[in-house]
Structure 1
Amino acid sequence: MATRRIIDDDRLTAVGLLVEVHRGLTNKFATGLSKHGLSENELEILLRLGRTPNCQLRMSDLAAQTSLTTSGVTRVVDRLERAGLVERRSCESDRRGTWAVLTESGLARVSAAVADHIEDVERWYTGLLTEKQLAGLMEALRIVRDTVRPEAVAGVAEAAVAKTVRTVG
């Protein structure tokens, strides 16, 4: 009987498949995003802002939630701000903090891009799976994400509180 080699471990295959899928999807999505003048990083920031209460996050929380460094987020937000898609606002509760806020123009741009992007997502990812497979995959990915990147939801609760404070006050 042959001894199983450590390099044939299925855990390595699981990680390898995840990396290959990410690279493949990134390549497939890039063409559609470029039609809207957006990069993958710009879309990620616009989506995170748009899907957060009051369409805003602290810059530090935005960096924690994305795959970018703090300086990388600053550069992307700079570009988005010059394009009128995002604006910065001072954080009232912490003078050192700055909010990145999605503008109406930014929401319109990301919404238009997402309308096409959803078709690519369906074609190359979710449409290849049954509802049960997709639900299981999302559950599994959240378990792993919450363990390796618990900061991925940083600032969401604070943004909701900031919205409530502004609407009430």
Structure 2
Amino acid sequence: MSTAARTHRERIQQKPLLGATAEATAPTGPTKANQALSTLRSILAEHNTGAAFQSVVIAAVHIVERAVCHEQCVADAALSLGQQEKLSEMVDRVEEAALLLRQQLNTQSGSLTHLCGDRPARSSDAEPWPEALFSAVQVLEECVSQLVSLSNAQPKGSASRTLSDAIAKLLRSHHNTLLLEAEEWMA
């Protein structure tokens, strides 16, 4: 019997927490996400202007704004007020990251935000909870993977690598939170 819900359940049950190690198996929450935002702020405060750094910022804007859309869909589909509040806080953090990144591009000569395109439109149709949740888990996994690849392509110790690592850490914590939410919902 292969229904869509069963397929989603099987996929979620097989997914490990991203970055799961002996120390990272505990639930990740606001603390790790806030640390990642703090790191992001300090990196962007240094006013890095190199082409590699700006390219990473442009790619990060695309990735983060894609994550925002999917996280917002999950928040809109929340089944309880508690879920909605928790997910809204996550959306606020990732939106703040997107705003910080866009501001970085605005402060550079030539205003590079036009390279990012328009912000993705949010769907006005609320998806059902399980579909929104499973879709967001998948998209966040892809986003983290893209950021890790981007990071690995940068020189060790560079601002661009630190930036991609900080954003990956933020989205990884969100992925893990949603994955735990999916596991609770399926239980």
Larger Rg: 1
Judging by fraction of residues, say which structure has more strand.
Answer: 1
TM-score range, shorter chain: 0.3 to 0.5
- TM-score if structure 2 supplies the norm length? 0.30
- TM-score if structure 1 supplies the norm length? 0.32
